[in-house]
Structure formats: structure tokens, C-alpha cells
Amino acid sequence: MNKEIIINLDVMMAKRKMRLNELSKHVGVTIQNLSILKNGKAKGLRFSTLEKICEALDCQPGDILEYR
């Protein structure tokens, strides 16, 4: 049984009614890179980017990252 880290960015964006282009402006990351992250295709995530995402979405890192 392989465990993995799941990115729940789309869930938090829906809860905050925020679109990808708006989040991109807040975070300073391209829409393409956020899309890669949202779709679970990213190989890594900088803490500084995670901090900006959490700030923009008013959430905790655990709201976005899940280990299962």
C-alpha cells in the first residue's frame, strides 16, 4: 500500500470562491505552475509558495496538503 501526498488546492479554492488567475496574482506564481500543483503533477513545493497560498486562501498548510 503506497501512501502519497495529495494536494487539495482545488478544494480550498472552491471554498474561498477563488479562481486560478486570481490566486496566481496573489501568490506571484504562473497559472501554469499553479495548475500543475492543483492537478497533483508537481514534484515539489517551496515553503515560501505554500505560505503565500495559505495567506491568499486564509487557510493552514494542512488544509492544502494531505498524506494518505
* Radius of gyration of the chain measured on its C-alpha atoms: 11
The pLDDT value recorded for residue 1 is 75
Q: What is the pTM of this model?
A: 0.91
- Condensed to tens digits (0 to 9), the pLDDT of residues 24-66 reads 999 999 999 999 999 999 999 999 999 999 999 999 999 999 9
The pLDDT value recorded for residue 26 is 96
Burial code of 48-64, b = ≥16 C-beta within 10 A, e = fewer? ebeebbbebbebeeebb
φ/ψ of 59, rounded to 5, equals -145, 180
Q: Which domains can be identified in the chain, with CATH numbers?
A: 5-59 (1.10.260.40)
